[in-house]
């Protein structure tokens, strides 16, 4: 029996407006994808479109309508299905990864084992997740830092005219570890000028200081930096890794960028072959999307999977990160349930 694809629109709200260097919102819409096999077993995935990567709710829905009839009848044919989707309609990574996650969920459910067991991973091996403090006023930043009291590592969004004020506010509020994500908001020269400032505030990691195509800028910053430089927007799929070798210390993998759970595994293997660090990150998405990403945590150095923890109305229960501690579900497949 042919695998059947159905979708459901999800509307999610963050506890506070989530703002980064490119702007922000408090309402986020994602698409839940269900793939049902001939026995009525369902696999679930989530598409979190990001305009920065050329996707919107409308493009996700159009892409899913194209992909739906291409699934065939064998959910175990993961490689063939994923290749068929990509060769028929490239790009549309958030839409494709929702199907990829749903197929992996379905495979785990058919086998009766969690996906991390299928991959032979140790669920307890995950590094702690950071919790993100978005761009905000000093009063709100103090409140957010207090609310994130259980998280030992904070990720701070910079790339604004008020970066120094933000760092000062956070450092006055806490002595916890701080990592910085500038989300392409700096020039290479400004980033180099910021390095001693980051050192003064005890920042331990710098993510994507410059615009995605400025690989020479990343390399220039890295030569001056004592802390690891991680490429996020500069590294979308495995094809971007070779150009980043030597220019950065590591890459940030996000499922909504790379379009496939199998591609995420390839990215980890390629980065490791080059001695690079690996981080797994996320968009603002529910526990459905976060749980798929959380399955990579035993394989990475840095975890930033707070997308669902920032929500006030998460419709799903799955992997959790209280206090940064990543816990993967024990149920078959992704192990995600409706709340």
Contact 130/153 with Cβ under 8 angstroms? yes
**Using the rule CB under 5 A, is 232 a contact of Mg ion?**
yes
CB of 198 to Mg ion, least distance (A): 16
Can you tell me the distance from the alpha carbon of 99 to that of 44, in angstroms, rounded to the nearest whole number? 8
CB of 217 to Mg ion, least distance (A): 16
Contact 248/230 with Cβ under 8 angstroms? yes
Contact 104/35 with Cβ under 8 angstroms? no
Please say which residue, 46 or 207, places its beta carbon nearer to Mg ion.
207
Stretch that binds Mg ion, among 65-73, 81-89, 230-238, 285-293 (CB under 5 A): 230-238
Can you tell me the distance from the alpha carbon of 330 to that of 319, in angstroms, rounded to the nearest whole number? 9
Stretch that binds Mg ion, among 23-31, 134-142, 154-162, 225-233 (CB under 5 A): 225-233
Quote the tokens at residue 50.
Answer: 């990001």
Please say which residue, 55 or 232, places its beta carbon nearer to Mg ion.
232
Can you tell me the distance from the alpha carbon of 6 to that of 23, in angstroms, rounded to the nearest whole number? 32
How far apart, in Å, are the Cα atoms of 179 and each of 158, 167, 215, 269? 10, 11, 21, 24
Q: How many residues bind Mg ion (CB under 5 A)?
A: 3
CB of 338 to Mg ion, least distance (A): 29
Stretch that binds Mg ion, among 59-67, 118-126, 226-234, 242-250 (CB under 5 A): 226-234
Q: Identify which of 10, 9, 33 has the alpha carbon closest to the alpha carbon of residue 105.
A: 33
- Residues of this chain, 125-154, that bind Mg ion according to CB under 5 A: none
CB of 159 to Mg ion, least distance (A): 10
x-or-dash string of contact with Mg ion, 162-201, rule CB under 5 A: -------------------x--------------------
CB of 20 to Mg ion, least distance (A): 8
Backbone φ/ψ region at 167: left (φ over 0), alpha (ψ -120 to 50), beta: alpha
Q: Identify which of 90, 121, 258 has the alpha carbon closest to the alpha carbon of residue 279.
A: 258
Contact 239/253 with Cβ under 8 angstroms? no
Please say which residue, 109 or 179, places its beta carbon nearer to Mg ion.
179
x-or-dash string of contact with Mg ion, 205-224, rule CB under 5 A: --x-----------------
What φ, ψ does residue 68 adopt, rounded to 5°? Answer: -45, -50
Please say which residue, 81 or 305, places its beta carbon nearer to Mg ion.
305
Q: Which residues bind Mg ion (CB under 5 A)?
A: 181, 207, 232
């Amino acid at each position: 029996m042919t695998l059947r694809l159905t979708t459901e629109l999800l509307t999610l709200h963050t506890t506070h407006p989530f703002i980064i260097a490119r702007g922000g919102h408090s309402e986020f819409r994602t698409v839940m994808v269900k793939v049902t096999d001939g026995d009525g077993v369902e696999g679930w995935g989530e598409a979190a479109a990001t305009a920065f990567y050329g996707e919107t709710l409308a493009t996700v829905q159009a892409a899913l309508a194209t992909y739906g009839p291409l699934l065939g009848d064998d959910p175990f044919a993961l490689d063939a299905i994923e290749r068929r989707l990509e060769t028929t309609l490239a790009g549309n990574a958030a839409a494709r990864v929702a199907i990829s996650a749903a197929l992996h969920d379905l495979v785990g459910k058919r086998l009766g084992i969690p996906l991390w067991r299928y991959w032979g991973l140790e669920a307890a091996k995950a590094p702690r997740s950071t919790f993100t403090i978005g761009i905000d006023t000093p009063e709100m930043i103090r409140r957010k830092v207090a609310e994130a009291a259980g998280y030992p590592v904070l990720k701070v969004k910079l790339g604004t005219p008020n970066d120094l004020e933000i760092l000062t506010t956070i450092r006055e509020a806490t002595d916890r570890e701080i990592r910085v994500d500038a989300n392409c908001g700096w020039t290479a020269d400004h980033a180099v000028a910021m390095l001693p400032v980051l050192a003064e505030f005890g920042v331990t990691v710098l993510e994507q200081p410059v615009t995605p195509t400025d690989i020479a800028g990343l390399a220039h910053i890295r030569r001056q930096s004592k802390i690891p430089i991680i490429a996020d927007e500069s590294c979308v799929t495995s094809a971007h890794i070779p150009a980043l070798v030597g220019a950065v210390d590591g890459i940030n993998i996000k499922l909504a960028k790379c379009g496939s759970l199998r591609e995420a595994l390839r990215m980890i293997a390629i980065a490791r072959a080059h001695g690079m660090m690996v981080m797994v990150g996320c968009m603002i998405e529910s526990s459905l999307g976060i749980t798929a990403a959380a399955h990579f945590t035993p394989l990475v150095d840095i975890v930033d999977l707070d997308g669902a923890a920032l929500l006030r109305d998460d419709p799903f229960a799955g992997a959790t990160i209280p206090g940064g501690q990543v816990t993967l579900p024990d149920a078959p497949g992704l192990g995600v349930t409706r709340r």
